[in-house]
Amino acid sequence: MRIVTGSEEETKKAGFRLGTVLKRLSRGCTVFLYGEMGAGKTTFIKGFASAFGILEKDIGSASFVIVAEYETSPPFYHIDLYRINKAEDVDALGIWDYIDSDGIAVIEWAERLSEIPENAIKVRINYIDENSREIITEGVDEEDRHYMQGRKVGTC
């Protein structure tokens, strides 16, 4: 699925919609997020986290923290692998425990992982210009894609 956003607010809204879809599942799931520095990954995560009731001011780039845990239902984990250089570091930090948990994890710089689970949800954010981003999402079903694109589906 491809969405083009024209502002920071629209990028947050795209994140919110995916967060809403995954929160509804009531089971653990991981989103693997890709994009160059400045592409809008943290902006997208701010919107995603707002679906869990987390305030935007409480979400920042986790580059210095690596894992930020939020006590929501289900639990939300913001993981930033920017400072990770080796696959062994991922193992030592217990990142796979978050991926295989009952919570919802969003992982920035997912390309630093040695492998990605087969049923993964992948989001690539591409910088188009100062305001616009292309967001490509893989791993969501058709009904969820319609919701994420802003189309009314069912009675949800």
Q: Give tens-digit pLDDT for 11-41.
A: 999 999 999 999 987 678 999 999 999 999 9
In terms of pLDDT, which residue wins out, 71 or 26?
Answer: 71
CA distance 45 to 63: 13
pLDDT class for 62, splitting at 50, 70, 90? low
Separation CA 62–CA 104 (nearest Å): 16
Average pLDDT over residues 45-56: 94
Lowest mean pLDDT among 3-7, 68-72, 88-92: 88-92
Its CATH architecture, for the domain 2-129+139-148, is 3-Layer(aba) Sandwich (3.40)
pLDDT for 49: 96
What is the average pLDDT score of the chain?
86
Helix ranges restricted to H, 25-154: 41-50, 87-93, 95-99, 142-148
Residue with the bigger pLDDT between 118 and 97: it is 97
Give residue for tokens 């024209």.
6
For position 154, what pLDDT does the model report?
Answer: 37
Which helix (H) or strand (E) covers residue 121, if one does?
strand 121-127
